[in-house]
Amino acid sequence: MKYFWRKTKKTGLALGGGAVLGAVHVGVLRALEEKKIRIDCLAGTSIGAVVAALYAFRAPIDDIEKFSKELKWLDITKVSLSRLGLMSNEKLGDLLIEYIGNKDIEEAGIPLQIVATDIASGEKVILKNGNLADAVRASACIPGIFKPVEINGTMLVDGGIVEHIPITPLKAMGADRIIAVQLQIHQAAKKPDHIVEVLLNTFEFMVNNISKPYLKDADILIRPNLSEFDKVNTNQVNDLITKGYNEAMIRLDQ
């Protein structure tokens, strides 16, 4: 396949967090492939780290779409006996290994970096090497829901706390042009139905403010209107993929 936009510019793709809304990323990837835009480096946070990992290890788009459709809350969680979290997301790592094998980040076909947060210091941790499944689990470890993931003696949680849309890692990797995908629900206040929505809403309010300074560095910002969706209902996946595809095609044409 012949790719355009590659000879003189290095293109990076930043995939942000957003729980079930991450299915949007799959539609964006399909649009990029149809437009023959080659991605030279990837960075992911939270669910964005999951999709970025699959793509970086050359999983076909059809397989990534299948993964997103099969991903259910009970598939990636189990009750934890830890005092540090209600649940564990170890199953997420197992599912990733099932699709692409037990890999290290540095083995990726497309250079990949994953954002997590040191829960002791609050510092941003960029994972560039080491076990891929553990790195993804750490980046997608929502505090208060999942117990932290320990890597090299550091307790890590969701990277969205420090950089919800991971643009700075792409700059460090030498990206000349950056495409960023933001997953945000724009809607009037809606009362949450359960504790998971309370935690996810709280998390979103916080990370959206944190993301603003970084967004100015995105050359193309793909930010679909997701007001009709929520972050927990997995029955929305097909519509979210379509939403991501359509929005990406519009932005890329522009």
CA distances from 220 to 9, 126, 159 (A): 14, 23, 22
CA gap 25, 21 in Å, rounded: 8
CA gap 143, 197 in Å, rounded: 13
Q: Are 49 and 140 in contact (CB under 8 A)?
A: yes
CA gap 187, 50 in Å, rounded: 26
* Catalytic residue from among 46, 68, 139, 211: 46
**Pair of tokens at residue 214:** 């970084």
Give the residue among 110, 115, 117, 221 at the shortest CA–CA distance from 168.
Answer: 115
CA gap 75, 94 in Å, rounded: 10
**Pair of tokens at residue 66:** 């299948």
- Based on the residue annotation, tell me whether 46 is a catalytic residue of this protein: yes
* Catalytic residue from among 40, 158, 211, 230: 158
Q: What's the full length of the chain, in residues?
A: 254
- Based on the residue annotation, tell me whether 68 is a catalytic residue of this protein: no
Catalytic positions:
46, 158
